[in-house]
């Protein structure tokens, strides 16, 4: 009784989240699986009209909770990955648009708290297996073609951000160099340059490690992840961050999967990704860890148009699930993503939530599971999903609002049913594209997603007060250096932000 009274007092003082009284006493293992360029409509539990079934993801949803209004922090990969690991919108970093490239410097700031370093402080073993794409600070070399020394360790590997073990590729599978980097060192020196120019299986020319074959990368990540799970013991919880390089280009389904979707090679590759979830679940069951592991599956942004979306739509498959746009866009198809969470005995099976969430929320959720709060200078855009995952679905939104960001640095902000886009078009690769497409169009877009989820009718002229309100809220989020409650943090003057036109 005394311990319960003490815990009540701690909760009352605000040290623990309110839902923690109903949360488990043990710390779960945590596995975060991030698909690359996979649309919400590519997962059949979200899209019953999909032209192929994703049985393992459907089963994961049957055993857990799916979120129908989940959003990546950006419509492209690097900034989303920054947000997942830091709980902070990437546009607060030095990256204002686009992604990091082949030999770019590390994006995550020195000494910034990450999910991995936070969990490590709380007794976890931590591992990163997959696509990093956040810069590595390669050792320099005086060579105008390949300006790095692959024989030297990188200076900013995942290990410098709280991961005990890492096995990664530097960036997307179509961006050189093509090497594996294990614990900061290249596993095999490049011995050739490769490139591919096939329609879906293309990649840019670049140095390629002696042990590297593009067709084997997805299976290699699964192998390393399963080996890691099998090496764990029940005495210490672990966090495995598994950011896949698929179904992003090059789209390379192997012989077993080729043609299996009945749609195209992209559909086949999605089924290979689905099988990854099955293999991870099987490894957990074999180790007796499936009952105490929180598994999260999601995607870093929407499906890319170069995956053959036009042909897929003609066949009746809509990777964006009826939402407008694709990867890179401010429209919903750019950043509305599948999101499934399972934790046996703690997350009610076969449930769905329509709460608006963002992938930046992972950090505060991990803190809540530990019964901890984040420091004021960490997770500035991260909300704890615990009240939804582990308790009754709140009647009020968890997030006050959510900021979206396109490949060109275009801002939009969503609050409730209203979404404001601060420019005339997509800010990405869909029509209207920045430039001539914008001629004659209004300079802002306002949509009511409840009545118009496809973003067809611009209501900015009918609701000028709503436009003003949402602009002011975005301005506040920028100037406060955070979108969550707490001490304001340093920010960059809004005049230097592309896409911000107040």
Residues 471 and 378 grouped into a single domain: no
On whether both 373 and 412 belong to a single domain, the answer is no
What confidence tens digit (pLDDT) does each residue in 272-329 have? 999 999 999 999 999 999 999 999 999 999 999 999 999 999 999 999 999 999 999 9
Is 149 domain-assigned?
yes
Q: Please indicate, yes or no, if residue 38 is contained in any of the structural domains.
A: yes
The CATH number covering residue 439 comes to 3.30.1120.10
249 touches 277 (CB < 8 A): no
65-124 residue pLDDT tens: 999 999 999 999 999 999 999 999 999 999 999 999 999 999 999 999 999 999 999 999
pLDDT reported for residue 22: 47
Please classify residue 319 by burial: count the beta carbons closer than 10 Å to its beta carbon, then call 0-12 exposed, 13-18 middle and 19+ buried: buried
What six digits make up the tokens of 106? 């590390």
> What's 189's domain CATH number?
3.40.720.10
| 3-state percent helix, strand, coil for the chain, nearest multiple of 5 | 30, 20, 55
Q: Are residues 373 and 417 in the same domain?
A: no
Backbone φ, ψ for residue 331 (5° rounding): -65, 160
Report pLDDT for 493.
80
328-367 pLDDT tens trace: 999 999 999 999 999 999 999 999 999 999 999 999 999 9
Whether residue 347 is found in the same domain as residue 464: no
352 and 476 fall within a common domain: no
Look up the domain containing 232 and give its range. 26-389
Q: Which of 1-5, 397-401, 408-412, 482-486 has the lowest mean pLDDT?
A: 1-5
Residue with the larger pLDDT of the pair 495 and 373? 373
Tens digit of each residue's pLDDT (9 = 90 or more) over 134-160: 999 999 999 988 999 999 999 999 999
pLDDT at 11 over 50: no
Note the pLDDT of residue 475: 94
CA distances from 374 to 86, 125, 253, 384, 474 (A): 11, 19, 41, 10, 23
HSE-CB for 264 with a 13 A CA cutoff: 21
Q: Of 389, 423, 451, which residue sits at a domain end?
A: 389
- Do residues 84 and 108 share a domain? yes
Average pLDDT over residues 231-249: 95
What is the predicted pLDDT for the residue at 8?
34
Strand partners, 165: 127
pLDDT band at 1 (very low <50, low <70, confident <90, very high): very low
Domain co-membership, 302 together with 368: yes
- Spatial separation of the C-alpha atoms in residues 489 and 92, rounded to whole Å: 10
In a domain, residue 138? The reply is: yes
Confirm whether 4 is domain-assigned: no
Distance CA 448, CA 459 (A): 8
- The reply to whether 359 falls in a domain is yes
475 and 442 in a common domain: yes
Same domain, yes or no: 454 and 323 = no
β 238-243/125-131 pair status: parallel
* Termini Cα distance of the chain: 56
Same domain, 378 and 434: no
- Tell me if 126 is assigned to some domain: yes
Q: What is the pLDDT of residue 237?
A: 97
pLDDT above 90: residue 385: yes
Q: Which residues face 131 on adjacent strands?
A: 169
* 457 occurs within a structural domain: yes
Whether 450 is in a domain gets the answer yes
Pairwise CA distance, residues 334 & 302, whole Å? 5
Q: What percent of the chain has pLDDT over 70?
A: 94
Tell me what pLDDT residue 26 has. 75
Tell me: do 147 and 291 sit in the same domain: yes
pLDDT of 19 higher than 50: no
Considering the chain, what percentage of its residues have pLDDT values greater than 90?
89
Mean pLDDT, rounded, of the chain: 93
Last residue of a domain, one of 389, 411, 429: 389
- Based on the fold, state whether residues 368 and 427 are members of the same structural domain: no
Domain boundary among 389, 412, 431: 389
- List the structure tokens of 290: 């499936």
Contact in structure between 412 and 403 (CB atoms under 8 Å):
yes
d(CA 494, CA 422): 13
pLDDT reported for residue 17:
52
Instruction: Report how far residue 439's alpha carbon sits from residue 203's, in angstroms, rounded to the nearest whole number.
Output: 34
User: Is the model's pLDDT at 20 over the cut of 50?
Assistant: no
Q: At 25, is the pLDDT very low, low, confident or very high (cuts 50, 70, 90)?
A: low
Q: How many domains does the chain have?
A: 2
């Amino acid at each position: 009784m005394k311990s319960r009274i003490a815990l009540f007092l701690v909760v009352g003082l605000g040290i623990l989240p309110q839902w923690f009284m109903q949360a488990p006493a043990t710390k779960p293992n945590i596995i975060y699986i991030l698909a690359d360029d996979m649309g919400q409509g590519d997962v059949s539990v979200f899209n019953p009209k999909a032209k192929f079934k994703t049985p393992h993801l459907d089963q994961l949803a049957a055993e857990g909770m799916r979120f129908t209004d989940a959003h990546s922090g950006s419509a492209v990969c690097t900034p989303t990955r920054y947000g997942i690991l830091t709980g902070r919108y990437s546009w607060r970093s030095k990256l204002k648009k686009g992604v990091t490239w082949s030999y770019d410097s590390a994006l995550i700031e020195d000494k910034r708290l990450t999910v991995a370093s936070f969990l490590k402080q709380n007794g976890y073993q931590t591992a990163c297996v997959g696509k990093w794409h956040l810069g590595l600070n390669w050792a320099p070399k005086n060579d105008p073609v390949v300006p790095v020394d692959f024989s030297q360790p990188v200076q900013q590997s995942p290990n410098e951000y709280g991961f005990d073990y890492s096995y990664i590729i530097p960036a997307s599978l179509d961006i050189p160099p093509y090497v594996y980097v294990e614990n900061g060192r290249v596993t095999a020196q490049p011995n050739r340059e490769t490139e591919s120019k096939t329609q879906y299986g293309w990649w840019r020319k670049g140095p390629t490690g002696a042990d590297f074959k593009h067709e084997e990368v997805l299976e290699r990540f699964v192998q390393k992840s399963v080996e890691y799970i099998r090496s764990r013991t029940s005495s210490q919880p672990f966090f495995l961050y598994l950011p896949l390089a698929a179904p992003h280009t090059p789209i390379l389904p192997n012989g077993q999967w080729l043609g299996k979707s009945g749609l195209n090679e992209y559909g086949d590759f999605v089924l290979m990704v689905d099988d990854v979830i099955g293999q991870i679940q099987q490894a957990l069951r074999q180790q007796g860890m499936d009952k105490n592991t929180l598994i999260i599956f999601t995607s870093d942004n929407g499906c890319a148009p170069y995956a053959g979306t036009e042909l897929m739509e003609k066949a009746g498959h809509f990777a964006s699930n009826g939402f407008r746009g694709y990867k890179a866009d401010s429209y919903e198809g750019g950043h509305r993503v599948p999101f499934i969470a399972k934790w046996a005995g703690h997350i009610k099976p076969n449930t769905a939530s329509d709460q608006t969430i963002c992938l930046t929320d992972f950090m505060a959720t991990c803190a809540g599971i530990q019964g901890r709060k984040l420091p004021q200078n960490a997770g500035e855009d991260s909300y704890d999903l615990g009240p939804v995952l582990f308790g009754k679905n709140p009647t009020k939104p968890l997030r006050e609002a959510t900021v979206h960001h396109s490949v060109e640095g275009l801002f939009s902000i969503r609050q409730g049913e209203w979404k404001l886009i601060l420019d005339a078009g997509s800010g990405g690769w869909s029509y209207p594209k920045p430039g001539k497409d914008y001629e004659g169009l209004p300079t802002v877009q306002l949509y009511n997603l409840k009545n118009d989820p496809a973003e067809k009718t611009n209501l900015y002229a009918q609701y000028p007060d709503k436009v003003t309100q949402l602009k002011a809220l975005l301005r506040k989020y920028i100037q406060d250096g955070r979108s969550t409650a707490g001490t304001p943090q340093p920010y960059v003057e809004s005049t230097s932000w592309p896409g911000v036109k107040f």
